[in-house]
Structure 1
Amino acid sequence: MRDLDRMVDEALNEEERALLRSIGEEPRFIAQTLGIFGGRTGWVSGLMLLAQALLFAGGVWAAFGFFQAGDALAALRWGVPAATLLLMSLIIKMSMWPTLEANRVIRELKRIELQIAHSANRTAGR
């Protein structure tokens, strides 16, 4: 991958390099994560985050009851809900990863689109 990046960089002229530098680097993880709360479906991500937090809190509460149980039946009554709630919380959290990846792909496609538009303008001006 690094060789490909180097070859692309060598193929670009100084004007295109300046354009890519103006776009900037890929945002950090926290900025990418906060980016899923924007746009038309941002409210869905916020609702999923709220549900995930509630499920996680319920799972921790049930896990606390599991570790405080005195007999096996009481431990089972607390342990199954604890495991279920924590797994549901994890599933919701993992369902948000495809949105992060889609945003990364869209950002790269826009970068390529900008390069194509810039090169088309440059060749049309000749």
Structure 2
Amino acid sequence: MPDPLDTMIDEALNAEERDLLRTIGEEPGYFTQVRGLFGGKIGWVTWLLMAAQTMMFIASVYAAVQFFAATEALEALRWGLPAAVLLILAAMTKLTLWPSLQANRVIHEVKRLELQVARMQMKE
């Protein structure tokens, strides 16, 4: 169901403006937004974070396997705690990218608004 505010905005625009906004496109999908994080000026930071996250995840899986293979409680504790900590750190590292996704969404919407304002100024 479309948002009533979007419907009101669409009705206020003339056909030419609607076509122009449609060429800009809707908000990109989640995976398209995630791929966008790997490019640009700070894409290398995303690559670095994902490499660190992958290494932590692999290390946590290895430690978890050792934990489940342990026969003594102290040995299980020595493998279980690092496994849990590394898994939590890997998840937190991945979550550090979500604010960038949100910022990119906001920037996309601001650009749409700038385009609408520029179009309105050209009419005057």
TM-score (norm 1): 0.94
Matched position secondary structure for 1:27: coil
Work out the CA distance in 1 between the residues paired with 2:74 and 2:117. 66
CA drift of 1:26 comes to 1.2
Aligned residue for 1:87? 88
SS of corresponding position for 1:26:
coil
Letter in 1 for 2:51: L
Are residue 66 (structure 1) and residue 62 (structure 2) matched? Answer: no
The alpha-carbon deviation at position 7 of structure 1 amounts to 1.1
Q: What do residues 67-110 of structure 1 show as CA deviations (whole Å, max 9, x unaligned)?
A: 11111111100000001100110110001100000000000100
Which amino acid counterpart does residue 13 of structure 1 have in structure 2? Answer: N
Identity of aligned residues (%): 53
Aligned pairs (5 A) from 1:51-62: 51-62=52-63
Identify the residue that residue 7 of structure 2 maps to in structure 1: 6
CA distance in 2, matches of 1:118, 1:2: 23
Q: CA deviation at 1:121?
A: 1.2
Alignment match, 1:117: 118
In 1, Cα distance between equivalents of 2:20 and 2:75: 64
Counterparts of residues 21-32 of structure 1 (less than 5 Å): 21-32=22-33
The aligned amino acid for 2:77 is: L
The equivalent of 1:37 in structure 2 is 38
Q: CA deviation at 1:118?
A: 1.3
1:47-73 C-alpha deviation (Å, 9 max, x unpaired) = 000000000000111011111111111
Alignment RMSD, CA only?
1.0
Aligned residues: 123
Q: What's the secondary structure of 1:70's corresponding residue?
A: coil
The structural deviation recorded for 1:10 is 1.1
* Residue segments in structure 2 that go unaligned for 5+ positions in a row: none
* Mapped partners of 2:10, 2:72: distance in 1: 66
